[in-house]
């Protein structure tokens, strides 16, 4: 099978199966969290019921710009995943994901609601917190493998985590922000019962809110894919190791979410940049010294 056909099939598989996997992960997250809190919790398939219910509602957007930017947010999120799972440039993956986040912020700003605009400001703060670490991650992969392309990163002769332990720790810290979990869920709580006013999505409803949820499911699959890059190399069985480590990061996120109270944005920004410098940049300096 040619590389082009393999890439096309991988892209199609991502578009079809990523929301299914993302929805199941969300359902498992809620179920495990409920057990930790000694509640029964919703069924694992509840996220799908919620999305189908939202899709069946009337679209009551504030203005046409809001519809447009939410649609572009979903489109760019899907494109970032397609670039990743077809073995494309990881810098392009991160750039496209960043553009998607900007579209979500603009969609929130298009409303006159003070809650929505405050959520948009906090969303920007979150972007400023984790984006440097994502860039450091891409540079780290380049220094180890000599390429930014995902297909080259996963086909290297060495396991990347052996050279990128600090960057992996920093990335896991940034993923707590990306997954919208406590203590850093300041712009939009990932649990509906935690806030009546849901920050950046306060003015979203019906199909538009469903599109935001679908985009987050697509995004989460890509983020776990980046985690797997640290543990996958040219050994065929290494994909199993990557999946196991993704499961470990998933459980760790739930533990942190249920163990920490929400912090202010100042603490989030300060702690994430300190982690980027202390773990990520130090790891880069060591790699450059070894070259």
Residue 152 forms part of a structural domain: yes
In a domain? residue 194: yes
Residue 13 has pLDDT above 90, yes or no: yes
Query: Does pLDDT of 195 surpass 50?
Result: no
Concatenated DSSP letters of the chain: --HHHHHHHHHHHHHHHHHHHHHHHHHHHHHHHHHHTT-----TTHHHHHHHHHHTS----S-HHHHHHHHHHHHHHHHHHHHHHTT-BHHHHHHHHHHHHHHHHHHHHTS--HHHHHHHHHHHHHHHHHHHHHHHHHHHHHHHHS--BHHHHTT-SS-GGGT-HHHHHHHHHHHHHHTT-TTS--SS-SSGGG-SS-GGGTT--HHHHHHHHHHHHHHHHHHHHHHHHTT--SSTTHHHHHHHHHHHHHHHHHHHHTT-----HHHHHHHHHHHIIIIIIHHHHHHHHH-
| Position 218 pLDDT exceeds 50 | yes
Residue 235 within a domain: yes
pLDDT at 193 over 50: no
- Inside any domain, residue 278: yes
5 in a domain, yes or no?
no
Residue 91 sits in which domain range?
52-290
Most confident of 125-129, 182-186, 280-284: 280-284
**Mean pLDDT computed over 24-44:** 90
Residue 240 lies in a domain: yes
Note whether residue 18 is domain-resident. Answer: no
Q: How many domains does the chain have?
A: 1
What are the tens digits of pLDDT across the range 140-167? 999 999 999 999 999 888 899 999 999 9
pLDDT at 99: 93
- Is residue 16 included in any domain, yes or no? no
Local confidence band at 109 (pLDDT 50, 70, 90 cut-offs): confident
- pTM passes above 0.85: yes
**pLDDT of amino acid 197:** 58
């Amino acid at each position: 099978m040619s590389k082009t056909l393999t890439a096309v099939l991988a892209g199609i598989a991502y578009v079809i199966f990523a929301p299914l996997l993302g929805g199941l992960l969300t359902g498992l997250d809620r179920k495990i969290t409920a057990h930790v809190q000694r509640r029964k919790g919703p069924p694992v398939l509840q996220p799908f019921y919620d999305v189908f219910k939202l899709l069946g509602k009337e679209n009551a957007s504030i203005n046409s710009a809001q519809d447009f930017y939410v649609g572009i947010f979903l489109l760019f999120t899907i494109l970032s995943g397609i670039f990743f799972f077809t073995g494309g440039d990881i810098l392009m993956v991160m750039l496209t994901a960043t553009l998607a986040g900007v579209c979500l912020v603009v969609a929130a700003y298009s409303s006159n609601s003070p809650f929505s605009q405050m959520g948009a400001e906090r969303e920007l703060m979150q972007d400023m917190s984790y984006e440097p670490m994502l860039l450091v991650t891409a540079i780290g992969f380049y220094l180890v493998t000599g390429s930014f392309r995902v297909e080259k990163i996963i086909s290297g002769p060495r396991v990347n985590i052996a050279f990128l332990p600090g960057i992996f720790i920093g990335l896991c810290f940034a993923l707590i922000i990306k997954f919208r979990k406590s203590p850093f869920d300041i712009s939009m709580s990932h649990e509906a019962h935690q806030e009546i006013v849901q920050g950046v999505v306060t003015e979203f409803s019906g199909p538009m809110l469903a599109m935001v949820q679908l985009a987050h499911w697509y995004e989460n699959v890509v983020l776990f894919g980046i985690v797997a890059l640290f543990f996958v190399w040219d050994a065929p069985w290494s994909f199993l190791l990557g999946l196991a480590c993704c499961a470990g990061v998933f459980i760790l996120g739930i533990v942190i979410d249920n163990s920490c109270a929400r912090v202010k944005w100042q603490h989030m920004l300060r702690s994430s940049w300190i982690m980027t410098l202390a773990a990520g940049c130090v790891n880069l300096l060591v790699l450059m010294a070894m070259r």
